[in-house]
Amino acid sequence: MPEPVPTVLFVCVHNAGRSQMAAGFLRAIGGERIEVRSAGSLPAEQINPVAVAAMAERDIDIAGEQPKVLTVDAVRESDVVITMGCGDACPIFPGKRYEDWALEDPAGQGIEAVRPIRDDIEARIRALVAELLPA
């Protein structure tokens, strides 16, 4: 019987920067072994172009992603819910693993300011993958 695939949901306010970078890293590092979702409590019109550029420096393309609205179903159907500055907008369900990652918002920042945020996200994603997919 195949191993169950854990589902991770990343939530930030606009679903345009932090959560999209996290989802991009998790897709790249976890591959098909982890299902990845992202959403925002107040989604933006488009992905932050500086976040797209910062991820491109790591050979990860998030340019085709679109901000999505956070739904109760997305939370209900996820095993791990990681919030990034969206406060109490995320519904709580028993039995889920919740983490809040205190990360600076890349909105309105230049590439020099976004790179350290991206690198922090990448380190957190690598640690998460090691927890979810033990060798």
The beta-strand segments (E) located in the chain are: 7-12, 35-40, 80-84, 97-100
Is 103 part of the annotated catalytic residue set? no
Catalytic residue among 86, 117, 128, 129: 86
Catalytic residue among 39, 90, 121, 129: 90
Is 105 part of the annotated catalytic residue set? no
Rg (CA), the chain: 14
Is 73 part of the annotated catalytic residue set? no
Residue 68's SS3 state is: coil
State the Cα–Cα distance between residues 49 and 16, nearest whole angstrom.
9
State the Cα–Cα distance between residues 24 and 60, nearest whole angstrom.
7
Dihedral sign for Cα atoms in the order 40, 44, 50, 52: positive
Catalytic residue among 8, 11, 12, 82: 12
State the Cα–Cα distance between residues 127 and 132, nearest whole angstrom.
9
Residues assigned a catalytic role: 12, 86, 90
